[in-house]
Amino acid sequence: MIYSLCFVLIAIGLYGVVVKKNIVKIVISLAIMEYGVNLFLILLGYRFKGEPPIMDQAADASLFVANAVDPLPQALVLTSIVISLGVLALMVALCIRLYERYGTFDITEMRRLKG
Amino acid sequence: MIPLFVAIPLGMAFIIPMVSRKLTRAPDVLGNATMVCLTALALASIGRTGIYHMGGWETPIGIDLRLDGLSVLLLIAVNVVGLAATLFSVDYMRLYTSKFRYYSLFLFMVAGMNGVVLTGDMFNLFVFMEIASISSYALVAFGCEHEELEAAFKYTVLGSVASTFVLLAIAFMYGMTGTLNMAHVATKIASEGMSTPLMFALSLFLCGFGLKAALVPFHAWLPDAHPAAPAPISAMLSGVLIKAIGVYVLARLLFNVFGITDNLLQLLRWAGVLSMVVGGLLAIGQWDIKRLFAYSSISQVGYIVLGLGLGTPLGLVGGLYHLVNHSIFKSLLFLNAGAVEYATGERDMRKLGGLNKVMPLTGGTSLVGSMAIAGIPPFNGFWSKLIIVLACVQSGHYALAVTAVVMSLVTLSFQLKVQRYVFFGSVRAGLDRLQQIPGLMAAPMLILAVLCVGMAFLIITGMDTPLLIAPAADALAGGFFTL
């Protein structure tokens, strides 16, 4: 059930990217979309009332596997958050430069390229 | 040896900005030296296969880098075109500022592409793809003028949406199979069959990588982004980036991981034919040289995907052969356009003319490139297109064969338009006193033009088993090798 929340987030993001005219809002929509995917990845490995995935010497291996949260998606999400940070920084820089050139954030007024 | 393909450019990308504060020639020298090393490594890896376990961790736990026939083919294409582009950049990038940033981003892009073609792990593939994409977004915006920024923004938004789709698909794949290693996913899918979430993941992969490869329903960003970049970068983007992180990954996933089915082949054929026709027809009406070449890239990627979509051994050979050939002649054409822009400051064909008399070398190499892309014998483009058409006939798709031949004529017509308006005819007033292009810009054009002829000799070992290409096609058809 909780998975559908991620898809709502992704859908909201995609809607924003497609429909919004303000480039800053497009950037925000993209960020929302990425959060939705990250949340989905985390939920994939999550186990309610699970243990943290740190094994000590005393722990029983089979019991640990049965109870612990899957650590791999967490590692993946960390990487993907860093990547989306890079993209976000680049896009914000592009927005600033675009505003300097065109004097507007409205994408419908940036129409030098066509054909 | 395998990790060096990623490690060398990645390391140099950090070293170049550090040393270039003091030494102004350092970026040029180091950038070119890196690409020479990588090209030598790529040529040395011909005929080899191997698996490298990153950090010494065994396969299910760690990440593998896998070298097989297909990776070797792509590595050669990426690094040879990369070398030509860096040689060209030495003088061309004087038109822009801060060269060290340029070389740094360039090497990041090369590291990302080499990583994508080598990796055997889904998430690692995503990371390398993002390294290549993000640096290419920045490189498209490098000029910081109106057009560049607008094109880069469009490219970044569409590219990020594609990356998000890919990540979501990887999440589904991991959820269903419990592993990220491509070979393990492939055996799992082969033994348990496709489930609905996996089908959904497959369609997300198709959309994501289709966007990166600029197949026709997803092509809108390409004709803006590729002309806006500096010329050597256009050559890299059109020549290898759309293939390394688009077509290659699609082929790898469809043939090796998910297992190809008749429906998927049909989908590939339709996407290929659509791209071929739409890209070709849109190219005819263009007046900006680089924009025309960008549309023609869409059309040529259509040929590659059509060849792969036939699914027969001959079709795979044709598609992969055309992939390497296209990376050679399309980068040549973009470098020619760059040389014209460098000498005249103009990209509009209506304002150019008669450049053959002023820039004979650029004119000559561009004629070679145009004839190769249009499929005129004896150049390499002729042979790969011939193999694709023969493969269409052999598998009974006569309509596709006819379309491929007709689109080849369309390609010839718009390439002749470039020749007629830019290079032939009388010299336009004001264009007769141009400065000569520097030798370092002429050399890569000459090398690529020679390769246009030289690549045709790959078929001396037989039409259906060309050198280099046959091992790559076998790797696609045969699945992952095990050690």
The mean pLDDT value of chain B amounts to: 92
- At B482 the pLDDT is 58
* Cβ within 8 Å, pair A101-B149: yes
Task: Please name the residue of chain A whose CA is at the shortest distance from the CA of residue B179.
Answer: A72
Asked if the C-beta of B55 comes within 8 angstroms of chain A's C-beta atoms, the answer is no
DSSP string computed for B90-148: HHHGGGSS-HHHHHHHHHHHHHHHHHHHHB-BHHHHHHHHHHHHHHHHHHHTTT-SHHH
- At A57 the pLDDT is 76
Q: What are the helix (H) ranges across B375-457?
A: 380-394, 398-418, 439-454
* Cβ within 8 Å, pair A90-B138: yes
Task: Please name the residue of chain B whose CA is at the shortest distance from the CA of residue A41.
Answer: B171
B119, B122, B137, B149, best to mutate vs chain A, most A CBs in 10 Å: B149
ipTM value greater than 0.85: yes
Give A98→chain B minimum CA distance, Å: 6
- CB nearest B160 (choices: A40, A87, A113): A87
Asked whether the predicted pLDDT for residue B481 surpasses 70, the reply is no
Residues of B in contact with A17 (CB under 8 A): 157, 161
B478 compared with A80, residue with greater pLDDT: A80
B367: nearest Cα among B378, B354, B356: B356
Q: What is the percentage of chain B residues whose pLDDT exceeds 90?
A: 73
A53 compared with B150, residue with greater pLDDT: B150
Residues of A in contact with B164 (CB under 8 A): 10, 13, 30, 33-34, 37
pLDDT band with cut points at 50, 70 and 90 for residue B104? very high
Written out in words, the top-level CATH class of the domain with range A2-49+58-109 is: mainly alpha
Asked if the C-beta of A41 comes within 8 angstroms of chain B's C-beta atoms, the answer is yes
Residue type, B460: I
User: φ and ψ at B380, to 5 degrees?
Assistant: -60, -35
Give A36→chain B minimum CA distance, Å: 9
- At A114 the pLDDT is 63
Task: Please name the residue of chain A whose CA is at the shortest distance from the CA of residue B145.
Answer: A101
pLDDT digits (tens, 9 = 90+) for B2-16: 999 999 999 999 999
Q: How far apart are CA B99 and CA B90, in angstroms?
A: 9
Average pLDDT over residues B385-391: 94
Asked whether the predicted pLDDT for residue B378 surpasses 60, the reply is yes
CB-based contact B197:B168 (threshold 8 Å) = no
DSSP summary character for residue B50: E
Asked whether the predicted pLDDT for residue B56 surpasses 90, the reply is no
A19, A97, A105, best to mutate vs chain B, most B CBs in 10 Å: A97
Residue type, B482: T
Q: How far apart are CA B27 and CA A12, in angstroms?
A: 44
B12: nearest Cα among B25, B26, B31: B31
A48 compared with B323, residue with greater pLDDT: B323
- At B359 the pLDDT is 87
Asked whether the predicted pLDDT for residue B219 surpasses 80, the reply is yes
pLDDT digits (tens, 9 = 90+) for B165-218: 999 999 999 999 989 999 899 999 989 888 999 999 999 999 999 999 999 889
Domain ranges of chain B: 260-483
pLDDT digits (tens, 9 = 90+) for B105-129: 999 999 999 999 999 999 999 999 9
- Per-residue b or e along B287-323, where b marks 16 or more CB atoms closer than 10 Å to that residue's CB: ebbbbbbbbbbbbbbbbbbbbbbbbbbbbbbbbbbbb
DSSP summary character for residue B349: G
- Contact residues, B window 112-171, toward A, CB-based 8 Å cutoff: 123, 126-127, 130, 134, 137-138, 141, 144-147, 149-153, 156-157, 160-161, 163-164, 167-168, 171
Asked whether the predicted pLDDT for residue B483 surpasses 60, the reply is no
Task: Please name the residue of chain B whose CA is at the shortest distance from the CA of residue A28.
Answer: B157
Which residue's entry shows tokens 């690549």?
B455
Task: Please name the residue of chain B whose CA is at the shortest distance from the CA of residue A100.
Answer: B146
Task: Please name the residue of chain A whose CA is at the shortest distance from the CA of residue B137.
Answer: A90
Residues of B in contact with A14 (CB under 8 A): 161
pLDDT digits (tens, 9 = 90+) for A4-56: 999 999 999 999 999 999 999 999 999 999 999 999 999 988 888 777 778 77
Q: How far apart are CA B389 and CA B399, in angstroms?
A: 10
- At B459 the pLDDT is 86
Give A58→chain B minimum CA distance, Å: 22
- Apex B274 CA angle, B272 and B276, nearest 5: 65
- At B400 the pLDDT is 95
- Looking at the DSSP bridge assignments, the partners of residue B50 are B67
- At B413 the pLDDT is 94
- At B447 the pLDDT is 94
Q: How far apart are CA B166 and CA B250, in angstroms?
A: 11
* Cβ within 8 Å, pair A101-B146: yes
pLDDT digits (tens, 9 = 90+) for B325-341: 999 999 999 999 999 99
The three-class DSSP label of residue B291 is helix
Residues of B in contact with A102 (CB under 8 A): 146
Q: What is the percentage of chain B residues whose pLDDT exceeds 70?
A: 99
